[in-house]
């Protein structure tokens, strides 16, 4: 299943107004992996994510998505393979109602009407929001918006899911529901997040970025338990890995 | 509550109205858009001193509002908001055009006053027709109808996006104004300079958002065309609605029931 592969080689990007966002990063994500990208503000997470589906094209190095190298000429294929869930669902839900929003991607693929209908309903049912299909996006709650945003991406049937800060601005219950939903997907997942507890539960692997470089890359449980590594990358250990603030008791790693 | 906040509430109201289901809501939006346009054009085509001849046209917005269950307060509050425009357009008519036109008992009414009142009446009739039509059709459906009637795609898409994002921009503005007021101790309202700064910031934020929306569209294969499901079907009831109203407008225009009264 080579089209689930994501491979960056010495990927570099400098913004036109100066700052170097990525200075030569390399990693390889294979089929079915769930990888968290963490790092402090300005570490290069957003820039990296924008490369993964061709919103930015590599200036230096290469990025391989499945069988193709990301370049201007391959953008259509890349975007069909990689589904991107934006941080702010309001940016992603631009159509007048939920149904049409989810149908936007499949309609652009030129599918016949019955196939579009099938994909839309399937995506809405997977994310548990089929009952909202006639609603306008501005009437939805934060959790509902997030679920619909994910459905819009699922309807294109991507092989790789990229999520930018999926748990931000969600109340604890909506966050939990999202977590359980994402666990059921067998797509390759790349999740950029500040919520290290979220990363700990969802992703078996973590890549820590710091100032445009890969600071560490390894199993989430090991990396996030290393407070020295985290501190060097200007991060703090996840709450679940910190001791009890009252008595200092800490659950040992199982 | 700031103006931006009350604007947000009024948007929500419009959306609720269009989600009511009456027989009128089921009429094809194209029929309603064309009938309304026809009505507006006929109203505007009357000469500037027509007053009573315009009254029969009120039956169109009244009919739509009653059948579509649009509350009168909804229409009047909006008419009031835009009325200064109409008033300013015609306010100088009574001063400039002083020819005596109508004699009611011992009071002579000048042509300027008649044309001013006629202008106001036209404004009330056309704007209320458009308001009620959008309220009983839904903004999205109006846009779809325009698209199907070959109105340029850029305009239709622009309207759809305006409708989708105006509430977000208004809520952003409301938050900014609140933050500004909280720190502008004592001074009442926004200064001109403050307004300029807020508008500038709002413009830049909208620009950033537009870019993010555009990349979200590209990510899902956008190629310049927005494809929406075709849910519009023109049925005989729609033809009847459209033909009936156009016939009514033509009849009122030709018969001129009020002509004798305005020129007595």
pLDDT of residue B2: 62
What mean pLDDT, rounded, does chain A reach? 89
The whole-number average pLDDT for the span B191-195 is: 81
CB B53 within 8 A of CB B262: yes
Kindly report, residue by residue over A146-175, the tens digit of the pLDDT.
999 999 999 999 999 999 999 988 889 989
Q: Supply the pLDDT for residue B187.
A: 66
Give A-chain residues touching B166 at CB under 8 angstroms: none
Contact at CB, B220 and A156, closer than 8 angstroms: yes
Structure tokens at A185: 């997907």
**Selection from B124, B142, B133, B141 nearest residue B68 by Cα:** B133
Q: Which residue has the tokens 């040992």?
A: A252
Nearest to B119 by CA among B47, B36, B59: B47
Residue of B nearest to A154 (CA): B220
Angle (CA) B132 B31 B162, round 5°: 55
Specify the pLDDT at position A192.
Answer: 94
Q: pLDDT tens for residues B152-168?
A: 988 998 898 988 888 88
pLDDT of residue B1: 56
Distance CA A153, CA A167 (A): 17
* CA B201 – CA B209 distance, rounded (Å): 12
Q: Please check the confidence at residue B5 and state whether its pLDDT lies above 70.
A: no
pLDDT of residue A205: 95
Strand, coil or helix: A192: strand
Do B212 and A91 count as a contact with CB atoms less than 8 A apart?
Answer: yes
The model's pLDDT over B42-94, given as tens digits with 9 standing for 90+, comes to 999 988 888 888 889 999 999 999 998 888 888 898 899 888 888 888 888 88
Between B238 and B257, name the one with better pLDDT.
Answer: B238
Are residues B219 and A103, on separate chains, in Cβ contact within 8 Å? no
Identify the contact set of chain B against chain A, taking CB-CB distances under 8 A: 15, 139-140, 143, 160-161, 163-165, 167-168, 209, 212-213, 215-223, 226-229
Q: What percentage of residues in chain B have a pLDDT greater than 90? A: 29
Confidence of residue A3 (pLDDT cuts 50, 70, 90): low
Residue of A nearest to B225 (CA): A108
pLDDT mean over B233-258: 87
Q: Looking at A35-39, A214-218, A236-240, B212-216, which range is the least confident one? A: A236-240
Of residues A43, A45, A48, A12, the one with CA closest to residue A210: A43
Residues of B in contact with A15 (CB under 8 A): none
Percentage with pLDDT > 70 across chain B:
89
Lowest mean pLDDT among A80-84, B17-21, B55-59: B17-21
Task: Specify the pLDDT at position B8.
Answer: 65
Instruction: Dump pLDDT digits (tens) for B174-191.
Output: 888 888 888 777 666 677
Confidence band of B7 (pLDDT split at 50, 70, 90): low
- Chain B's closest residue to A135, CA to CA, is B19
Residue B217 is given by DSSP the state H
Which residue of A lies nearest to B167 if distances are taken between CA atoms?
A: A138
Please tell me the distance from the alpha carbon of residue A189 to that of residue A161, in angstroms, as a whole number: 5
What pLDDT is attached to residue A242?
A: 77
**Residue A25: band (very low, low, confident or very high) from pLDDT cuts 50, 70, 90:** very high
Beta carbons of A138 and B140 less than 8 Å apart: no
pLDDT of residue A254: 47
Report chain A residues whose CB lies below 8 A from the CB of B163.
96
* B264 pLDDT above the threshold of 90: no
For A17, B83, B125, B259, the CA distances from B112, given in Å and listed in that order, are 61, 19, 20, 17
Average pLDDT over residues A43-52: 90
Mean of the pLDDT values across residues A101-127?
92
The model's pLDDT over B123-150, given as tens digits with 9 standing for 90+, comes to 999 999 999 999 898 888 899 899 888 8
Out of B140, B160, B215, name the one closest to residue A55 (CB).
B215
pLDDT at B261: 52
Q: Which residues contact B204 (CB under 8 A, 6 or more apart)?
A: none
Residues of chain A in contact with residue B222, where contact means CB-CB under 8 angstroms, are 104, 108
């Amino acid at each position: 299943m080579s089209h689930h592969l994501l491979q960056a080689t010495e990927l570099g990007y400098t913004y036109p107004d100066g700052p170097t966002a990525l200075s030569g990063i390399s990693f390889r994500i294979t089929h079915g992996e769930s990888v968290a990208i963490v790092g402090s503000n300005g570490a290069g997470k957003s820039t990296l994510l924008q490369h993964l589906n061709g919103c930015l094209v590599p200036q230096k190095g290469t990025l391989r998505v499945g069988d193709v190298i990301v370049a201007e000429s391959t953008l259509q294929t890349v975007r069909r393979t990689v589904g991107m869930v934006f941080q702010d669902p309001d940016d992603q839900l631009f159509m007048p109602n939920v149904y049409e929003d989810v149908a936007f991607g499949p309609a652009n693929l030129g599918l016949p009407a019955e196939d579009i209908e099938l994909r839309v309903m399937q995506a809405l049912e997977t994310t548990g929001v089929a009952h909202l299909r006639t609603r306008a996006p501005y009437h939805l709650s934060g959790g509902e918006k997030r679920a619909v945003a994910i459905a819009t991406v699922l309807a294109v049937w991507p092989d790789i899911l990229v999520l930018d800060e999926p748990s931000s601005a969600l109340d604890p219950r909506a966050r939990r529901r999202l977590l359980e939903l994402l666990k059921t997907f067998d797509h390759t997942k790349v999740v950029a997040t500040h919520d290290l507890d979220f990363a700990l539960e969802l992703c078996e692997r973590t890549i820590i970025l710091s100032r445009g470089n890969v600071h560490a890359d390894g199993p989430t449980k090991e990396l996030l338990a290393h407070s020295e590594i985290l501190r060097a990358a200007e991060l703090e250990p996840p709450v679940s890995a910190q001791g009890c603030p009252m008595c200092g008791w800490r659950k040992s790693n199982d | 509550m700031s103006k931006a906040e009350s604007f947000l509430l009024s948007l929500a109201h419009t959306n609720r109205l269009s989600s009511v289901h009456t027989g009128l809501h089921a009429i094809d939006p194209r029929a309603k858009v064309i009938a309304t346009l026809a009505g507006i054009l006929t109203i505007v085509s009357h000469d500037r001193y027509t007053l009573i001849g315009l009254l029969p046209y009120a039956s169109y917005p009244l009919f739509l509002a009653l059948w579509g269950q649009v509350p009168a307060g909804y229409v009047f509050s909006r008419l009031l908001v835009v009325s200064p425009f109409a008033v300013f357009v015609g306010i100088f008519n009574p001063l400039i055009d002083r020819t005596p036109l109508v004699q009611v008992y011992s009071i002579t009414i000048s042509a300027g006053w008649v044309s001013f009142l006629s202008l106001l009446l036209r404004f009330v009739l056309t704007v209320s027709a458009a308001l009620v039509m959008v309220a009983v059709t839904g903004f999205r459906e109006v846009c779809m109808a325009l698209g199907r009637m070959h109105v340029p795609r850029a305009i239709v898409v622009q309207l759809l996006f305006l409708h989708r994002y105006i509430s977000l921009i208004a809520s952003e503005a409301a938050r900014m104004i609140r933050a500004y007021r909280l720190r502008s101790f004592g001074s009442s309202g926004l200064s001109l300079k403050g307004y300029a700064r807020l508008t500038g910031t709002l413009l830049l934020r909208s620009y950033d958002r537009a870019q993010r929306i555009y990349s979200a569209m590209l990510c899902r294969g956008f190629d310049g065309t927005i494809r929406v499901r075709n849910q519009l079907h023109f049925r005989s009831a729609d033809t009847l609605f459209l033909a009936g109203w156009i016939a009514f407008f033509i009849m009122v225009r030709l018969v001129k029931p009020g002509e004798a009264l305005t020129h007595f």
